[in-house]
Amino acid sequence: MNHHGSCLCGGVRYALRGELGKITLCHCAQCRKAQGGAAVAAAPVKAAEFEITAGAELLRAFESSPGKERVFCSRCGSPIYSRRPAEPDFLRLRLGTLDTPVGKTPAAHIWVSDKADWDDICDGVPQYAGFEPGRAVPPSCGD
């Protein structure tokens, strides 16, 4: 196992046998509301390498935009991952739920055009008004 994680209440636990993909920090309004913070830190993982090891019955999904669901623990509210049923091969894992070190730095701030006015991004990570270059998804938040 390369990584494992859990929700705030500990009811939901997961294991990841593969690697985290490119880490993005999404500042769009949907992600801000879903996290209650300035951004969501997410990375794609292969669905075949991701396993819910406890608490699957606690998970609920909210379709925050057509064809895109945010999956969270119904007991404590922790966001765990998002998914697009049309793209079943991967999930976008919420990195704040990892209990293991991530071991790499974010690749991009995305949807900076939609960031909170109090959010002053001052690290050296590249910033993009929308998605990072190379992502092929609809023109709304994909995280």
Binding site for Zn ion (CB under 5 A): 7, 9, 11, 26, 28, 31, 73, 75-76, 141, 143
Neighbours of 137 (CB within 10 A): 14
Shortest spacing between CB 134 and Zn ion, in angstroms: 17
Q: How far apart are the first and last CA of the chain?
A: 24
Nearer to Zn ion, 48 or 65 (CB): 65
Nearer to Zn ion, 57 or 123 (CB): 57
Measured CA angle at 34 (ends 59, 70), to 5 deg: 40
Q: Among positive and negative, which fits the CA dihedral 65, 44, 60, 28?
A: negative
Nearer to Zn ion, 26 or 98 (CB): 26
The tokens describing 18, both together, are: 């593969």
